[in-house]
């Protein structure tokens, strides 16, 4: 069997295509390999283990899982293609710019691959995001320790995830905030002070008017 044939067949079958010919798009072959590699196993915990090792080796400072994967610690699983890792990165000594170079120097020799803005760790594309302001800095600092199969992992609190979503303000962020509210996992005694500290009360009022007003329901 030629290399990649199994992957091509897997994609063909998944897409409901005939399995007779061998002319599938090469991009789909790559996708098929990924699909095959994912089938029947979950290796995100490997991703967490690598993050912890990077922290222990001093490559990254404290980190916190955010985005859809972070939200999944509190909600039903949320469809996503990547893992957002908010992380305090070191700054080049003679430059005001934050650099990902130490991450690459650490990960590439260990066989991890770069794909665009992602680094593939444990088969999941990981995006390392430096905090863009005090809200994310606080979210990293106050992140909660969770355990996945015995592996510790730092995850943003539900309240910080909601505040970051509120600040981003895209349709999918509002949908996620509604999920958090509906799930009843938010502690208003924690949420409100964060909103006040980071000037988000106006945004929250607008959100309430748009989505939580009984007249609109």
Partner 1 sequence: MSEWIQRLIQSKRAYRSKLATLPFEEKIILLGQLRQRSLLIQAAKHQRRTDES
What does each C-alpha distance from 185 to 22, 44, 73, 191, 207 come to in angstroms? 50, 24, 11, 11, 18
> Which position among 88, 120, 148, 181 is part of the footprint of partner 1 (CB under 8 A)?
148
Q: Is 39 in the site for partner 1 (CB under 8 A)?
A: yes
Residue pair 158/64 in contact by the 8 Å Cβ criterion: no
| Phi–psi pair at 91, nearest 5 degrees | -105, 140
Q: Report the DSSP pairing between strands 144-148 and 151-155.
A: antiparallel
> Which position among 22, 25, 101, 205 is part of the footprint of partner 1 (CB under 8 A)?
25
| Phi–psi pair at 124, nearest 5 degrees | -110, 135
Closest approach of Cβ 97 to partner 1, in Å?
32
Closest approach of Cβ 171 to partner 1, in Å?
17
Q: Which stretch binds partner 1 (CB under 8 A): 30-38, 91-99, 106-114, 190-198?
A: 30-38
Partners of 41 in beta bridges:
none
Give the interface with partner 1 as residue ranges (CB under 8 A).
11, 14-15, 17, 25, 27-28, 31, 34-35, 38-39, 41-42, 44-45, 69, 72-81, 146, 148-149, 182-183, 185
């Amino acid at each position: 069997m030629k290399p990649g044939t199994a992957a091509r067949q897997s994609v063909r079958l998944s897409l409901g295509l005939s399995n007779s010919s061998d002319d599938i798009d090469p991009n789909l072959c790559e996708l098929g390999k990924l699909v095959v590699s994912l089938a029947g196993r979950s290796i995100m915990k490997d991703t967490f283990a690598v993050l912890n090792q990077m922290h222990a080796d001093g490559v990254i400072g404290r980190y916190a899982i955010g985005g859809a994967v972070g939200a999944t610690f509190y909600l039903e699983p949320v469809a996503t293609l990547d893992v957002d890792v908010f992380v305090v990165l070191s700054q080049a000594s003679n430059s005001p710019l934050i650099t990902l170079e130490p991450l690459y120097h650490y990960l590439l020799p260990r066989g991890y691959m770069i794909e665009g803005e992602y680094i593939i760790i444990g088969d999941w594309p990981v995006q390392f995001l430096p905090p863009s302001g005090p809200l994310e800095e606080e979210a990293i600092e106050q992140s909660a320790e969770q355990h996945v199969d015995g592996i510790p992992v730092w995850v943003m609190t539900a309240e910080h995830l909601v505040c970051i979503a509120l600040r981003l303000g895209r349709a999918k962020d509002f949908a996620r905030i509604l999920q958090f509210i509906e799930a009843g996992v938010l502690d208003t005694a924690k949420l409100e002070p964060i909103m006040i500290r980071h000037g988000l009360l106006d945004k929250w009022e607008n959100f309430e008017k748009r989505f939580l007003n009984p007249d609109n329901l």
